[in-house]
Structure 1
């Protein structure tokens, strides 16, 4: 239900959904937002957090990335004023409790995550900037090399034209 409530908003700002993870490609990077549920959730007390990731866009366009595959990663709590881990608590059998938690999470995504993701790629961590610029420089060459390798594999085994 949590993802179902966040999905319409994230779709309006350009994210594509894959389970509890959303990806958006922009300016040479992939931005990732994911919902992480606690391993200790029960029927009486549950919680979730929002993970955010950014990584250079070097994979095929239809590839979906998980947050843990990103070079720059953080949890939503570190974007909030407290700068510490933050979990949204709710009671699964209480629809009002679920709605409150999801509303708080959505408000935080709008207030903290979207401004963070609105940075230019170069404003993210220096390691991401270095990786982005280095990888983007070589992406075309690697794609051409990969295409050549695929052609070679399709032609294998080679047929000789001589009568030997």
Structure 2
């Protein structure tokens, strides 16, 4: 486990859990008022051993999937990057040096403070800012949950029927 993953697990994950989010890797989901709120940590593709960075993505979507279904930020109807919620209103990446635990700690602490100051207030206003989310979510939620459950069962059966790459020798 890298220092980054360790600090995320020690610093950010407990905080998000305390405000009602459930963790799925580097993504957290919270269901409230007929919507799913998503916070996701995205590392840069250009990270190196000397200089790395990450950002925080936020998403909201109707809560029509089954309660235990994971929702990724890129699957949300309303998406935002934390930098655009900050006063500068521009993309923001938290820099750290992967082998320097103090650097990682500082970057994650800054991200947590921004989540607390900007992301959570943004998410709490979602139903007012995005009224189109709630009307679609609440009246049809039971029907959609059944459809998602049936779809997931069908998807699992299809996957079992497909020839695996290991069995075919590819």
SS of the equivalent of 2:49 reads: coil
Count of matched residue pairs: 145
Q: Which residue does 2:42 correspond to in 1? A: 36
Deviates more, 1:10-19 or 1:92-101: 92-101
Equivalent of residue 124 in structure 1, options 113, 120, 129:
129
Q: Which residue does 1:133 correspond to in 2? A: 135
Alpha carbons 1:51, 1:74 under 8 Å: kept:
yes
Matched, 1:14 2:16: no
Distance (whole Å) between structure 2 residues aligned to residue 109 and residue 142 of structure 1: 30
Q: CA deviation at 1:90?
A: 0.4
Q: TM-score, normalised by structure 2?
A: 0.78
Q: Which residue does 2:113 correspond to in 1? A: 107
Q: Which residue does 2:165 correspond to in 1? A: none
Q: Which has the larger radius of gyration?
A: 1
SS of the equivalent of 2:138 reads: helix
Distance (whole Å) between structure 2 residues aligned to residue 92 and residue 142 of structure 1: 43
Alpha carbons 2:27, 2:39 under 8 Å: kept:
yes
Q: Structure 2: which 5+ runs fail to align?
A: 152-170
Cα RMSD (Å) of the superposition? 2.1
CA deviation map 1:95-116 (0-9, x unaligned)? 1111110110010010001111
Distance (whole Å) between structure 1 residues aligned to residue 112 and residue 62 of structure 2: 26
Q: TM-score, normalised by structure 1?
A: 0.81
Q: Structure 1: which 5+ runs fail to align?
A: 151-164
